[in-house]
Structure 1
C-alpha cells in the first residue's frame, strides 16, 4: 500500500509538470490566450481520477504561485492568479475534480470521458468568465465575446482529444500495472 501511494504521488507530480509544459503551448488572443493547460488538465483528470487529478492541478498551481514559470508564457506568481486570467486557473481545480468524479462514478470510457471533459471545459470557462468580469471590470458582453466564445469550439476539440487519448493512456498504464485498476 505504501509503495502504491508513493507511486501515485510520483505520477501526480509528473502530471503537474506536464500541465506546466503544456501551458507553454500558447495561441495569443487579446484578452485570454488559448493554451495547452486545459488539454493537460483533462489528461490528468481522465487518467488519474478525481483525487490525484485534482492534486496534480493543485501542485501545478502551487508551483506557479511559488514562482516557477509554469503558467502560460512562462509566467508565475500571485499576480497571475489574481489577474484577469486567474479565474480560469482557479477553475482548473473544480474542473479536474468533476472530470475525475464523473469518470469514477460512471466509468472510464471514451464516451463518459468526452462528457466529463466537456463539463470540465464549461466549469473552467464559467470560473474564468465570472473572474474576468469583476477583475477586469468588463461588461458581460465583452466577457462573453473575449473570454468565452473564442474558447467554445477549441474547448470541445480539446475535451475530445483529452478524453480519447486519456482513456487510451489510462488503459495502457493500468494494464502495465503503473496505475491501479481503481484509483482510491
Structure 2
C-alpha cells in the first residue's frame, strides 16, 4: 500500500477514535463536582491500540471538535467554556495521558500487563492534573478537590485501565494481523 493510502487510513482511524471518545463521553454516572464517564476508557483504548502518536492525535481532534461547540464532551456539552471551566484540567490531561500510555507501550511491549500498567499511569496523570485544575478553578481546598476530583475515581479508574488494556491489546493484535496499523506505528 502506498504511503498516501496509509496516511489516509490513519487519518480515518484517528477520526474514528475521536468519535468513539465522544460517544463514550456520554456514558455517565453523575457526581456533585465531576461525573464518572466513559471518556477515560476511550482515551485508554485509543492510546493502547494506536500508540503515542496516533492515540494523542485522536484525543487532540476530540478536544478540538468539542472546543468548537460540538456537544461531544460529557453530558452533551462543548465549547471553550467547558475546556476552561473547573473540569477542564481533566480534558486537557487526556492529551498527556494518551501520549504517556502509548509511549510506555512503545518503549516496552504491547501486552495486557504492560497496557494495564500504562493505563494506570495514565489514570494517575489524569486525576492529578484534573484535581489540581479543579482546586484552582473552583477555589476549593485541597481536601475538597481531592474528595471531589480524585478519590471517587480510583476504583473505576482501575477497572477502566484493565478494560482498556484487555480490549485494547485484543483489538490492536487483530488490527496488526489485518495490516490495518502502519508498520512504524511507534515513536522513535
How many aligned positions are there? Answer: 184
Residue segments in structure 1 that go unaligned for 5+ positions in a row? none
Corresponding residue for residue 161 of structure 1: 163
The Cα offsets for residues 40-82 of structure 1, whole Å up to 9 and x where unpaired, read as 0000000000000000000000000011100000000011011
1:182, distance to aligned residue in structure 2 (A) = 3.7
Corresponding residue for residue 99 of structure 1: 101
* Whole-Å separation in 2 of the counterparts to 1:181 and 1:84: 40
**Aligned match of 1:70 in 69, 72, 77?**
72
Moved more, 77-86 or 174-183: 174-183
* Whole-Å separation in 2 of the counterparts to 1:136 and 1:84: 5
Secondary structure of residue in 1 paired with 2:182: coil
1:25 and 2:27 are equivalent in the alignment: yes
* Whole-Å separation in 1 of the counterparts to 2:6 and 2:69: 30
Corresponding residue for residue 79 of structure 1: 81
Corresponding residue for residue 3 of structure 1: 5
1:87, distance to aligned residue in structure 2 (A) = 0.3
- CA RMSD after TM alignment: 0.7
* Whole-Å separation in 2 of the counterparts to 1:5 and 1:100: 19
* Whole-Å separation in 2 of the counterparts to 1:144 and 1:67: 29
Secondary structure of residue in 2 paired with 1:72: coil
Corresponding residue for residue 148 of structure 1: 150
Tell me the TM-score normalised to structure 2 length: 0.96
Tell me the TM-score normalised to structure 1 length: 0.98
1:6, distance to aligned residue in structure 2 (A) = 1.1
